[in-house]
Amino acid sequence: MQIEVFSLCDAATVNAGKLNILGAFDTIWARKIPIVHPQCSVALRIRFDRIEKGDHSISVNFVDEDGKHIMPAANGTIRINIQNGQRSASAHLVLNIQGLNLKRCGEYSVDLAIDGRRDLSLPLYVREHKERK
């Protein structure tokens, strides 16, 4: 298994077998805290080798610096079928998040686990935007 894309972005879609990503980011500038970020997405593309065909569990967790969940975990299962003549296949997943509530400045984390094993983590930094006078 190889994770080809794992990104926090403004929006993502899957259409005709293609993963489309708009506006990848790792920092939110807030004028005041707490902030509710209206909409974002987690985009994921994973490649599986022929011997990995079958069902795989996926879990995405959004946590604060203390490891506390800031939203419920997104858990699911994907089934990988590999066509004859192919040595691998990819899976695309998009998690759309509405109204992400960020209660303080600091570092947050988007954690990805596949088959119960934590594979990758993306940082999200929330910084205070100070206006110049």
Give the CATH number of the domain where residue 6 resides. 2.60.40.2550
Q: What's 116's DSSP letter?
A: T
Q: Is residue 99 part of a domain?
A: yes
Per-residue pLDDT tens over the stretch 39-71: 999 999 999 999 999 999 999 999 999 999 999
Nearest to 2 by CA among 74, 105, 90, 70: 90
Q: Tell whether 50 is covered by a domain.
A: yes
| Tens-place pLDDT, residues 9-26 | 999 999 999 999 999 999
Helix, strand or coil, per DSSP, at residue 50: helix
- The token pair that represents 90 in the structure block: 């990819």
86 lies in some domain: yes
Could you give the C-alpha distances from 4 to 14, 19, 47, 68, 129, in angstroms and in order?
15, 11, 7, 27, 33
Q: Is residue 102 part of a domain?
A: yes
Question: Is 133 inside any structural domain?
Answer: no
Domain-located, residue 104: yes
Residue 129: predicted pLDDT: 81
pLDDT per residue as tens digits for the range 68-123: 999 999 999 999 999 889 999 999 999 999 999 999 999 999 999 999 998 799 99
Q: Is the peptide bond before 123 cis (omega within 30 degrees of 0)?
A: no
pLDDT of residue 133: 58
Average pLDDT over residues 23-30: 96
What was the pLDDT predicted at 132? 62
Overall domain count for the chain: 1
Taking CA atoms, 48 is separated from 27, 92, 115, in Å, by 30, 11, 13
Range of the domain at 60: 2-128
Residue 109 lies in a domain: yes
